[in-house]
Amino acid sequence: MAFTFRLSYNPDMLDDSFTDRMRQSGDPLADAVIAEYIGAGEIPELNALLGRLHANMGDPAGYPPRLAAFFEESSRLPPWADPERIARAQRLFTLHGPIFGLVMLFKSLPILYAGGKGGAQVLAMTGQLNNHYRRRASETLRFILDVMEPGGLDAGGKGIRTAQKVRLMHAAIRAYASASPLWKGRREAWGPPINQEELAGTMLAFSTVTLDGVAAMGLKVDRRDAEAYLHAWKVIGHILGIDPGLYPKNLGQARVFWKSLVRRNFLRTEQGLVLIRDHQEFMATLIPGRLLDRGIPTLLRYLMGRKISDKVLDLPESRAPFVLLLFLVETFRLQKLGFLLFPGLVRRARAVSVELMEAFQAYLNAGHSRPFRVPPSLTRH
Ligand code: HEM
């Protein structure tokens, strides 16, 4: 066990000078693949590839050698990956999918708009695309469903493939965004787009920050389940190319690390404000009628906290639908109690939860799915 920790944890992680170095670092393996396409002037081929990856990538064995080597190398799980803890995390997610999905929409995704040192800026660059918020929510949910389905992180699992594709997309965006006028003169302060520090922050947003949100929504997660969830996200982080020095040892350390990332990166920016405004408009399209729309900022504020809401994202205070929030929290609390009293319900509930999440992802995707492309605005300079 001690060996496991040594491999997956770097005691320097909380040291600012280490994080400063990580901020300057991209993802050499994926960046080299993308650089080859760009160097050969093969942007249409790159876009075709990203489009194919988005849909269904086929057999990587038929790919050009460097790409095939990337898929081979990045599919290997780290030696410290623990199948038991991964399976435990997947069981947690499949049982409580809807609450995790809710927290993803109201906390894990929008909290990233607060990252003002290149994070919000790069999201805003691709945010001009049609249906951006819908596609982003849909694809992020697809990602989470793929990695969290039982077996999703086994050799050849769906989740591994999905994470590899996203890793290449990130590298393509990194290449183009860093050459954009916005990055001019900012490279030293911001580091490359989607750099290691930003990646680690997002890994935490989808793990520890999500777990805190789930708890705030009334679901008490068993400590071992919660640690397993973080473990699974470290494994996902590995496939996404995150430096092993950035994996927190446990939830306690993850929270301290998250705080330091908030201190280092969160600030009010023009792009962050546009992103949070448009995100709310997108959420309003998901809720029938107008009556409940005022509940959107309320839930965002509740989950992201007053400080970020007031100082960084300008989310207005509104008490009106607070009773609805209480109703939601009580529902999740009672659901857990129901599972404790009637364990026989768990299997059925798991099947329903997965079906619900799949149906929601299909709904988000319906008629809006279009292959991801490097935005033309980024390739024109
Ligand atoms: C654990 C870390 C991360 C995960 C799991 C993740 C996941 C994803 C997923 C699922 C997609 C969707 C691909 C598609 O549209 O088909 C995506 C795209 C994208 N990601 Fe990430 N991401 C992570 C980190 C980051 C970071 C740190 C940034 C930078 C701020 C970033 C910026 C983007 C951008 C700009 C896109 C392109 C499409 C869009 O704008 O939605 N990601 N990522």
**233-289 pLDDT tens trace:** 999 999 999 999 999 999 999 999 999 999 999 999 999 999 999 999 998 988 876
Q: Whose CA is nearest to atom 30 of ligand 1?
A: 119
Determine whether the shortest distance from the Cβ of 164 to ligand 1 is under 6 A: no
Q: Which two tokens stand for residue 127?
A: 């945010």
Of the two residues 13 and 225, the one the predictor is more confident about is: 225
Q: Whose CA is nearest to atom 37 of ligand 1?
A: 126
Determine whether the shortest distance from the Cβ of 190 to ligand 1 is under 6 A: no
For residue 219, the tally of other CB atoms under 10 A from its CB is: 20
pLDDT at 53: 65
Determine whether the shortest distance from the Cβ of 173 to ligand 1 is under 6 A: yes
Give the single-character DSSP code of 2: H
Task: Tell how far the Cα of 252 is from the centroid of ligand 1, in angstroms.
Answer: 26
- Look at residue 25 and tell me whether its pLDDT is greater than 70: yes
Mean of the per-residue pLDDT values of the chain: 86
Determine whether the shortest distance from the Cβ of 140 to ligand 1 is under 6 A: yes
- CA–CA dist 365, 169 (Å, integer): 19
The number of angstroms, rounded, from the C-alpha of 346 to the middle of its chain's C-alpha atoms is 27
Q: What is the pTM of this model?
A: 0.90
Atom number in ligand 1 closest to CA 135 = 15
Closest residue by Cα to residue 14 from 204, 190, 171: 204
For residue 173, the tally of other CB atoms under 10 A from its CB is: 21
- CA–CA dist 370, 81 (Å, integer): 34
* Confidence at 2, pLDDT banded by 50, 70, 90: very low
Kindly tell me the sign of the dihedral angle through the C-alpha atoms of 12, 144, 49, 124. Answer: negative
